[in-house]
Amino acid sequence: MLVILMDNQLIAPQAVCATCLMADQSGRPRWQSGKLRCGRAIHKASEQQPEQFECQMGFRFADIE
């Protein structure tokens, strides 16, 4: 599941991406084959952390299970 990381909470991408010009037609992030197409991957600090991405707008995403 793809989530947006904020200070002390997780937010659904639809809450932010719906107004983003980089989002797809349904207002979701451009997520394809485990990659955020409207952002870049961030280096993982450890293997225990989920893979993280930063979008063009500066929000940090994580792919959690």
> What is the tens place of the pLDDT at every residue in 8-65?
899 999 889 999 999 999 999 998 888 889 999 987 767 788 888 999 989 999 888 7
Q: Which tens digits make up the pLDDT trace of 52-64?
A: 899 998 999 988 8
pTM for this predicted structure = 0.78
Cα–Cα distance measured from residue 61 to residue 54, given in angstroms and rounded to the nearest whole number: 6
Domain coordinates of the chain in residue numbers? 2-63
Q: What is the mean pLDDT of residues 3-11?
A: 90
